Structure 1
């Protein structure tokens, strides 16, 4: 059920864009605009998060330490793949925070 909600949240802006552009342009242009919106949303979200972490390094450090703690907990529980993704997330967060501190 959560996957359906996430898929809807990602696709609804693209469908709305397609519907609005279709009123004035062709279906091809409308579908391309809708696809561009669907693709651009995750990219814009990641860029905004990276900018937030660069401008507020303490937030990046706090989130990085929380991700490292989650990685240690998952390594102890035996969930290697999940723990490795948490460790990678911690590394990215701490590196983004350290760029601004230096």
Structure 2
């Protein structure tokens, strides 16, 4: 569970940094830019998986291993989330299941 918190904090870091750097231009503009920077990260990941397929295969293999581990532990929701990430990563890299 600690790794999920670390991933969430890492995903929020560019948005927080954007707000901090643009705060002198007005808080509304800074917050809108920070939200845009935070929301663009998943799309950047998907585009990088499409452009560089070995990254998708590597991410898919790692997600599949974690999904199997969490299925063995009986944590079905977490395992299903990792399995969904495996499916998306492998699909974006061009390999049809």
TM-score (norm: length of structure 2): 0.76
Query: 2:14 matched to 1:18?
Result: no
- Cα deviation, 1:55-101, whole Å, max 9, x if unaligned, reads 111210121111011101100011111101101111111111117x9
Structure 1 alignment gaps of length 5 or more:
22-29
How many residues get paired?
88
CA-CA distance at 1:35 after TM superposition: 1.3
1:85 alignment counterpart:
81
3-state SS of paired residue (2:93): helix
1:39 alignment counterpart:
35
Structure 2 alignment gaps of length 5 or more:
none
RMSD of Structure 2 on Structure 1 (CA): 2.3
- Cα deviation, 1:9-38, whole Å, max 9, x if unaligned, reads 34232132122x1xxxxxxxx122111122
**Structure 1 segments of 4 or more deviating over 3 A?**
none
Match of 1:76 among 72, 77, 82: 72
